[in-house]
Amino acid sequence: MIYHITTHSFWEKAIQTSFYLPEDFKKEGFIHCSSKDQIIRVANRFYRGQSDLVLLAIDPEKVNAEIVYENLERGEEFFPHIYGRLDVTAVEGLAVLTIDASGSFEFPKV
């Protein structure tokens, strides 16, 4: 599985259209995803203080677009990027991102 964070409202739009594209897709050209080991660090770094967030569990075998594992920010980790739209049928699980007592995100049961 690979994982992507979005808002509940964006996911609701995706359900209506049968595919998902994040707000920044036109600018970025891909959908940012993470591995299970990476996703909570990503959430705490980029989404701290935000609410209404959901975690999509995506089956890479069901993604019709190209997935490239790359690092575009000169770090050491490689992240999966989906270069195209995400059909909702590729999403195997969905969970609300919750926050622990310290204010950090926790990995939900997906």
pLDDT at 59: 98
Options 3.30.565.10, 3.20.170.20, 3.40.50.300, 3.10.20.30; CATH for 2-106 is: 3.20.170.20
- Start-to-end CA distance of the chain, whole Å, equals 10
The 10 Å Cβ neighbour count of residue 55 is 22
Tens-digit pLDDT profile for the chain (110 aa)?
A: 999 999 999 999 999 999 999 999 999 999 999 999 999 999 999 998 888 999 999 999 999 999 999 998 777 899 999 999 999 999 999 999 998 888 899 888 77
- And the tokens for 91? 């999403």
The domain ranges of the chain are 2-106
Runs of H (alpha helix) within the chain:
8-17, 25-28, 36-46
